[in-house]
Amino acid sequence: MQRVEVQLGQRSYPIDIDTGFAALPASLASARQVVIISNPTVAPLYLDQVSALFSAPPLHILINDGEAFKTLASFETILSFLLENSMSRDVVLVALGGGVIGDLTGFVAACYQRGVRFLQIPTTLLSQVDSSVGGKTAVNHPLGKNMIGAFKQPEQVIISTATLTTLPSREFAAGMAEVVKYALLGDAAFLDWLLKHSEQICQQQPETLAQMIRHCCQMKADIVSRDETEQGERALLNLGHTFGHAIEAFMGYGNWLHGEAVAVGMVMAAELSAHRGWLSKQDVASVRRILQSFGLPVAVPDQMQIANFMPFMKTDKKVKDGQMRFVLLSAIGQASLVADVTEAELLQVFG
């Protein structure tokens, strides 16, 4: 087993990465009330194994599968289930699934009786390298992605790389977008490593995957430890997300996977960076190439013009004092938050 620590004082927690589900500490395993939140795709695969981690048999509730169900309605369904089953403030919630289940469960954990403990057991590559770590929780609103949420750190993150064996290849590729994101925003050497190991990654060689996941979790843990609530540096983790969230919302939640939209968003961020002279054309081409090598899209959906992005980008959570802010690349492996991108510049680059 490999362990990465998220250092947040009293709210610090471990991320355990193993080939199976690592054992829980007694304080969690012996919880009197446990509710596992999952969906009808993941539960038949892993609910029994995860239930067995607890000494008392947990209850469970399944939410319909998909981004379209990361909503206030699902949030309310879970709250009602907890109340109907007389769950107290001691309850431990367990998110068993991908980022949708993780974000939704975390938001319930932040709100139920003003906050209860929760565990992240991420089962997609994307959730293992990104969404289960760092305490961002949210649901979507028709007018914007992740617009309603809270910061709520889990007690522990338990990653079993064996869960990736059942993940559809399109979902695996979507997770690779977030992996490439870490390399582009802060670690050029990791980009070289990814290129060198792309065959083993695509073949899902277990040791290579564990090493890659650990590296991403360590990068995220370090950033979150320095800037938990995104006052500065953490915003860099949104590379590609301003454009990407607009694609997800415009195309209808669930039609484009989050990782696919982020992949195109990163290409757009690279193009904007090149327009400013920070990246070369070759750099942009290599961003495209690495994303394509992992089976990801790199072109804006045919249905979208830059005008379609604008309403979503203007309500992005990075907007400050009415000004849109973008994460751009000052070099491959070096990102920065930029506050002077105008609509005119966007039109010039993408119009």
Residues with active-site annotation: 114, 136, 178, 220, 230, 234, 238, 241, 245, 258
Half-sphere exposure of residue 1, counting CA atoms within 13 Å on the CB side? 15
**Candidate segments 4-12, 36-44, 128-136, 339-347, binder of ligand GLY by CB under 6 A:** 128-136
The verdict on 136 binding ligand GLY (CB under 6 A) reads: yes
The verdict on 134 binding ligand GLY (CB under 6 A) reads: yes
> Can you tell me the distance from the alpha carbon of 77 to that of 290, in angstroms, rounded to the nearest whole number?
41
The verdict on 245 binding ligand GLY (CB under 6 A) reads: no
User: What is the CB neighbour count within 10 angstroms for residue 292?
Assistant: 13
Read off φ and ψ for residue 278, nearest 5 degrees.
Answer: -85, -30
Residues 193-232 within binding reach of ligand NAD (CB under 6 A):
none
- Cβ closest to ligand NAD, residue 126 vs residue 223: 126
Compute the least distance from the CB of residue 245 to ligand NAD, in Å. Answer: 8
Among 215, 234, 258, 325, binds ligand GLY (CB under 6 A): 234
Residue 160's DSSP bridge partners are 18
Helical spans, DSSP H, in the chain = 26-29, 43-51, 72-84, 99-111, 125-126, 169-186, 188-196, 198-202, 206-226, 241-251, 258-275, 281-293, 306-314, 343-350
* Residue 32 vs residues 28, 56, 166, 234: alpha-carbon distances, Å: 9, 6, 31, 36
The verdict on 15 binding ligand NAD (CB under 6 A) reads: no
- Which entry of ligand GLY, ligand NAD, none binds 234, CB below 5 to 8 A by partner kind? ligand GLY
Residue nearest to ligand NAD (CB): 99
Among 2, 18, 29, 41, binds ligand NAD (CB under 6 A): 41
Q: Are 14 and 25 in contact (CB under 8 A)?
A: no
CA 22 to chain centre: 21
The verdict on 100 binding ligand NAD (CB under 6 A) reads: yes
Compute the least distance from the CB of residue 239 to ligand NAD, in Å. Answer: 12
Compute the least distance from the CB of residue 324 to ligand NAD, in Å. Answer: 19
> Can you tell me the distance from the alpha carbon of 216 to that of 237, in angstroms, rounded to the nearest whole number?
11
> Can you tell me the distance from the alpha carbon of 72 to that of 75, in angstroms, rounded to the nearest whole number?
5
- Which entry of ligand NAD, ligand GLY, none binds 258, CB below 5 to 8 A by partner kind? ligand NAD
> Can you tell me the distance from the alpha carbon of 340 to that of 149, in angstroms, rounded to the nearest whole number?
27
- Which entry of ligand NAD, ligand GLY, none binds 65, CB below 5 to 8 A by partner kind? ligand NAD
Residues 157-186 within binding reach of ligand NAD (CB under 6 A):
163, 166-167, 171, 174
Among 28, 108, 212, 237, binds ligand GLY (CB under 6 A): 237
Q: Interface with ligand GLY by CB under 6 A: which residues?
A: 130, 134, 136, 234, 237-238
